[in-house]
Structure 1
């Protein structure tokens, strides 16, 4: 059974009608101060018909027209809620402004990224670049032994 157009909508009903997830509606409430659903006991949100029309306008500007959040905020500030709601109803066709992303494809219609084939070679693990020769290793061991012997001679002198 469908609700009448004048009925209030829960967040799940509004999200379903707008075809966006519920968390998007909550996010929009934080970014657009004009979106103010009624809240009942327990924080349950109820969207008035005017709220749903405004949400449709915001959705249209963001998703269909390519505006940024900042661009829609500017439109709301300059043109008002009635203008954005009119866009949502399809009564007003917005003109491109600074807030629209020029040349950006509409969301969901971008070209898919090219697939990486399985034929690419797998690189071999890196090998140590500077390996010591046997002569160098032995001379370092000899120097270490000499330092150990020098320490044995110095320890008694340092402990005084």
Structure 2
């Protein structure tokens, strides 16, 4: 393993700071319904001004004929209004197919797409799910950037989402 060192103007040598990491674990619950469709899900970060700082993931039906799956992205109402309608799908490294029932973990490193370097401040992880012939749900998890210490924050969904956990690592 190779470590790069940088020389400061004063001549001191120091190792570069490690990049912060975010792990998002979200649960898609098993629902006892007559007609089940996998939910569309959007995961993004908003700043205190409610502007999108980063789109992290968008799961939708990719295999629909003629890209028809994108037509239903507007059912992710908050994400669509804030960012989605301005995107040309698919987005490399962000968009993907809907997921099955269960727990799914996404890993992001600061400064690497799709997570840019964020300015210091207050942010919210936003997770929105919408399901055809089903409901909608939006969960928010507030956090501070830069990350001062490792911590785990979570929110509990009540219908379309189960527990969503945000693990922060400096």
TM-score normalised by structure 2 residue count? 0.21
Report which structure shows greater RCO (CA 8 Å, sep ≥6). Answer: 2
Greater percentage in strand: 2
Larger Rg: 1
Greater percentage in helix: 1
TM-score normalised by structure 1 residue count? 0.22
